[in-house]
Structure 1
């Protein structure tokens, strides 16, 4: 992915009840949502981010991992981590996928409760992989 700029984290509120890794995730998501962090923007390395905000490498790595799982960022080996897509793009993809699933579930005769059970089972199975 080609970089369209860089990003630095703001400080972390260590007195907050919100865990530091959640604060890091929120900073990225909020900036993507407002358009100040565009697709292709390079994030600092885990070590650099940890050093700049006074957190452990593991805390920053957890935030990055969860952002990757949510498909907000992607990591390309030695090239680093980049913003993947805007939150609006992500929301649109999820909404489209949900609509397709609901149409298929209804065609199979499933009601909302039964369809939701299949989604939960699929998530559980995927997380165990």
Structure 2
């Protein structure tokens, strides 16, 4: 199965969502890469091709690809296309860094671990419903 088929398998951006389409596309690719379904080195469809398949503007897909490249999830090599980067663990590293910083604040403030974890769970829930 190629990258376009994986990205679009039982999925399309939800136009009524409060989450912008470029962000939905970015999250879809991040999820697939994190799950290993989009393997390191796998070539993504061209901006224009994916935009046509998803029924969105080319600029929408281009922005998603730019955001992914900035996060180190993909690498764009000009006319050679965009591929899943081997440094995709930068996302995991960023989350681990944020978790360490959060833990430092929790310890400094003396908040019990259970309460801190409940706060994180609540924040994730709020983020998931946005």
TM-score by length of 1: 0.64
Tell me if 1:71 matches 2:67.
no
Tell me if 1:7 matches 2:3.
yes
- Unmatched 5+ stretches in structure 1: 99-129
Tell me if 1:55 matches 2:56.
yes
Deviation at 1:82, TM superposition (A): 0.2
SS at match of 1:35: coil
Q: Distance in 2 between matches of 1:45 and 1:18?
A: 23
Aligned to 1:36: 37
Tell me if 1:25 matches 2:26.
yes
Q: Aligned pairs, how many?
A: 94
Q: Which runs of 4+ in 1 moved over 3 A?
A: 91-96
Tell me if 1:90 matches 2:86.
no
RCO comparison, higher one (Cα < 8 Å, 6+): 1
Distance change (3 Å), C-alpha of 1:95 and 1:78: same
Q: Distance in 1 between matches of 2:13 and 2:92?
A: 30
SS at match of 2:48: helix
Deviation at 1:18, TM superposition (A): 0.9
Given that residues 72 and 83 in structure 1 are in contact (C-alpha distance below 8 angstroms), is that contact kept between their aligned partners in structure 2?
yes
Given that residues 72 and 87 in structure 2 are in contact (C-alpha distance below 8 angstroms), is that contact kept between their aligned partners in structure 1?
no
TM-score by length of 2: 0.63
Given that residues 47 and 61 in structure 2 are in contact (C-alpha distance below 8 angstroms), is that contact kept between their aligned partners in structure 1?
yes
Distance change (3 Å), C-alpha of 1:86 and 1:35: farther
Q: CA RMSD in A?
A: 2.4
